[in-house]
């Protein structure tokens, strides 16, 4: 079992919100939203809005995609970084996080 898995299990076993669990959540969030190729932050790129449901499509990409110095997440399955957010999430300016359970093992 990896160190990360052990830490996550300790947090799950703890019923109270502790400083350790908050720090772990921040570390996971930071790692999740960082490009694994160039270490730049990932950025949510809003796309079109469905007029009937109010849902908006968007995708997470490396901020260096704009300057064409990094192409993450090109080549990965679309269901990880190409997502939708509800109208309410859009109003709150909230972007759901990438669905990492579908990431290939090497990532």
Q: Are residues 48 and 80 in the same domain?
A: yes
What pLDDT, in 10s, does the model give residues 5-53?
A: 555 555 455 445 566 765 655 655 666 788 888 999 999 999 999 999 9
Assess if residue 106 is contained within a domain. no
Assess if residue 105 is contained within a domain. no
Q: Are residues 71 and 43 in the same domain?
A: yes
Count up the domains in the chain and report the number.
2
Host domain of residue 47: 38-97
Q: Are residues 44 and 92 in the same domain?
A: yes
The strand pairing partners of 43, in sequence order, are 61
pLDDT band with cut points at 50, 70 and 90 for residue 69: very high
pTM (two decimals): 0.65
Determine the Cα–Cα distance for residues 16 and 28; give it in Å rounded to an integer.
19
Measured from the Cβ of residue 81, the count of other Cβ atoms closer than 10 Å reads: 22
Q: Are residues 3 and 20 in the same domain?
A: yes
Q: Are residues 20 and 43 in the same domain?
A: no
CA-based torsion, 65, 82, 11, 36: positive or negative: negative
């Amino acid at each position: 079992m990896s160190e990360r898995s052990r830490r996550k299990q300790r947090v799950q076993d703890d019923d109270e919100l502790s400083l350790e669990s908050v720090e772990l959540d921040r570390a996971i969030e930071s790692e999740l939203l960082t490009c694994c190729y160039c270490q730049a932050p990932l950025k949510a790129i809003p796309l079109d809005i469905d007029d009937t449901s109010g849902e908006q499509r968007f995708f997470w990409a490396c901020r260096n995609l704009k300057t064409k110095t990094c192409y993450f997440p090109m080549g990965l399955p679309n269901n990880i970084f190409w997502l939708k957010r509800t109208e309410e999430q859009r109003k709150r300016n909230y972007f759901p996080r990438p669905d990492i359970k579908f990431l290939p093992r090497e990532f």
